[in-house]
Chain A
């Protein structure tokens, strides 16, 4: 089942254009959204969350257009970014107490399970959390309301290798539960470990949106790793 479908998404800024971005994501798949800084990953994700207004194109979740079904769709998705810190001085339990009132599907049992798994102290404030714990806290909110797709913008940025590894393991667990994960990253090694699909964006255009094996077969050379392939593609793209 297709969880998200994006068709011909365009967004024009004075110094940047997102150019006819199209891809889709199936349930229970992990898609790595890769591209260098400024390639258009965050712009695409912002459009998927209705934070910005595309100049053209359509975004559909669960076969429903985002426009006109925003509230209904947001009940079923979770979002996290490593960079944003909500209410840094409020205790986590207060943020959770308010957040859960918006989700009829919220499960206190799931919340407890993941809070224990992530070793999250809910008496702490977000500003007291490490970068990795902030991402886990946002993930926790998404998981407790039973999100069917997680959209994660640079979740591994700023994390140490151990925290990154833990997070990628969590993605694996979510996949087993049928949750789709779309995570943007510029760290190509993250993809090697857990991605099923590669969505590669460069200078506002999707270069490829393929299962990892097909991506490697189509773009890889000899004994190249995925990281080496993407670096080469990026260099070749720059040279053109």
Chain B
């Protein structure tokens, strides 16, 4: 699998995908729907899928001395690696906002989603959906891009909408807490995000392996 991951990084990956990791810094932008950063990171991954397809990456890969399922596993690993790197960057920025910048006027007057642990949980949910909807759809269709990405896009914008609307419901206003206020609720939301990301990714990967095995290339 090490050789496969190396192949993903050296041959399949588009440099743009790595540049798009910088969208993790969007957690620091005030007055902006910061959950969209996850969509942009996924857009960067999409570019890799598109370029790799044009470079006949799938055919090259399945002709290597590997099982067909390994091609799926390595692409999932690559996606998770990029997603978790972007998440780590967003987590660092979020911690800065929760501590040193907790009382900054620009953030205090922010009408949109605040960067806190709830935000991080939502980021992971979007990444999990990308793996479950787009990546699985790509392998299931033997390299189809448009339909899986449109479906993911719709779902991602729905999640962003829900995330942004949540704190306007009086009973859920704590979801937009500053700093370490309501830390129990924040931590629970992050934990839910971690579980959903892990579950969606693991189940989708297995399902994609089985679906790809049946595809004629």
A: residues with CB less than 8 A from B are: 46, 49-53, 70-75, 79, 84-90, 94-95, 97-99, 101-103
Contact = CB atoms under 8 A, between A and B. Distances in A.
B214 A53 contact: yes
A49 B56 contact: no
B68 A70 contact: yes
Contacts of A74: 63-66
Contact of A101 (B6, B67, B68): B6
B73 interface: no
Most buried by B among A95, A102, A103: A102
Nearest to A85: B56
B143 to A, nearest CB: 13
B195 interface: no
Contacts of B6: 98, 101
Given A46-B217, A90-B11, A102 B59 contact: no
A99 B217 CA distance: 21
30 contacts: A46-B216, A51-B59, A70-B67, A70-B68, A71-B65, A71-B66, A72-B65, A74-B63, A74-B66, A79-B63, A84-B56, A86-B56, A86-B59, A87-B55, A87-B57, A87-B60, A88-B55, A89-B55, A90-B55, A94-B10, A94-B11, A97-B10, A98-B7, A98-B11, A99-B64, A101-B6, A102-B3, A102-B64, A102-B65, A103-B65
B62 interface: yes
Given A84-B56, A98-B6, A52 B65 contact: no
Contacts of A87: 11, 55-57, 60
Nearest to B217: A51
B45 to A, nearest CB: 18
B214 to A, nearest CB: 7
B interface, how many residues as a size bin? 20 to 34
A53 B215 CA distance: 8
A144 to B, nearest CB: 14
Nearest to B10: A98
B2 to A, nearest CB: 8
B11 A95 contact: yes
Given A53-B214, A84-B56, A86-B55, 7 more contacts: A51-B59, A51-B216, A73-B65, A87-B55, A89-B55, A90-B55, A98-B3
A75 B65 contact: yes
Contacts of A84: 56, 59
Closest 5 CB pairs of A and B: A74-B65, A52-B216, A75-B65, A101-B3, A86-B60
Nearest to A97: B10
A86 B59 CA distance: 8
A95 B12 CA distance: 10
Contacts of A95: 11
A150 to B, nearest CB: 13
Contacts of A52: 216-217
A73 B63 CA distance: 11
A95 to B, nearest CB: 7
Nearest to A84: B56
A86 B3 CA distance: 18
A203 to B, nearest CB: 20
A121 to B, nearest CB: 19
Interface in B174-217: 214, 216-217
A167 to B, nearest CB: 20
B216 to A, nearest CB: 4
B68 A50 contact: yes
A101 B7 CA distance: 9
Nearest to B64: A102
A97 B67 CA distance: 21
Given A51-B62, A52-B216, A86 B57 contact: yes
Contacts of B56: 84-87
B10 to A, nearest CB: 5
Nearest to B9: A98
B4 to A, nearest CB: 8
Nearest to A127: B55
Contacts of A101: 3, 6-7
Contacts of A102: 3, 64-66
